[in-house]
A and B are shown apart, each in its own frame.
Chain A
């Protein structure tokens, strides 16, 4: 079975632009989470979605938004990009998104904001 996939692999944007990142979960998984990983740091939780509903949100500004589609894939949108948004964005899927569920991570999207 395919693992979590993310697209694009790399992305270069300029300040003020908008970006959309995409994630496809493992088949059968209904929950998707998004993380931001700045170089040299651990991942920071952004969102979790389960069955198209937002289950949790981390301490990120409203410029960050996400949604989950009926096929359980997900998009992360970031508006008005800042230099500080440069990071590796990780998507993780799990079966139900419950506390004990194992999360499986995708390879990430490397976003560079110039």
Chain B
């Protein structure tokens, strides 16, 4: 079965600084998608960014970018110019053609003013 590992339960970053959240996954499949979701204290999960495994180019969404290393099965999220509103739980997720989503255990990000 696929597994998603987030080895950093908690991270903190100074406002306006850059932080990187780590994610690794285990799979034998070649075609899949990877996602980062944000879950603020209000609990509604919000999609931050997604990456198709067949694309070598790393996805970017404004201040959010990923470092996708397919051979290493690594999918880290970089948040640039961190803002107070970025404080949340961040989940890495994997999805294959088998439909099912696999989520990591999450990283709680604190932004220090």
Residue ranges of A at the interface with B (Cβ–Cβ < 8 Å): 33, 35, 40-45, 48, 55-56, 58, 88, 90, 92, 97, 99-100, 102-108
Contact = CB atoms under 8 A, between A and B. Distances in A.
Interface of B: 4, 31-33, 37, 42-47, 50, 52, 91, 93, 95-106
* Interface of chain B, main secondary structure: strand
A105 B44 contact: yes
Given A42-B105, A48-B100, A107-B42, 15 more contacts: A33-B101, A42-B4, A42-B104, A42-B106, A43-B91, A43-B101, A45-B101, A48-B99, A56-B100, A92-B45, A102-B47, A102-B50, A104-B47, A105-B45, A105-B46
Given A42-B104, A43-B101, A45-B101, A103 B47 contact: yes
13 contacts: A41-B106, A42-B4, A42-B93, A42-B103, A42-B104, A42-B105, A43-B45, A43-B101, A44-B103, A48-B100, A99-B32, A107-B44, A108-B44
Nearest to A42: B103
Contacts of A100: 33, 50, 52
Nearest to B101: A45
A99 B47 contact: no
Contacts of A105: 37, 44-46
Contact of A58 (B32, B46, B100, B104): B100
A48 B4 CA distance: 20
Given A43-B91, A99-B32, A102-B50, A56 B43 contact: no
Nearest to B32: A99
Contact of B43 (A41, A99, A107): A107
B45 A99 contact: no
Nearest to A48: B99
Contacts of B32: 99
B100 A99 contact: no
Contacts of B93: 42
A97 B99 contact: yes
B54 to A, nearest CB: 10
Nearest to B37: A105
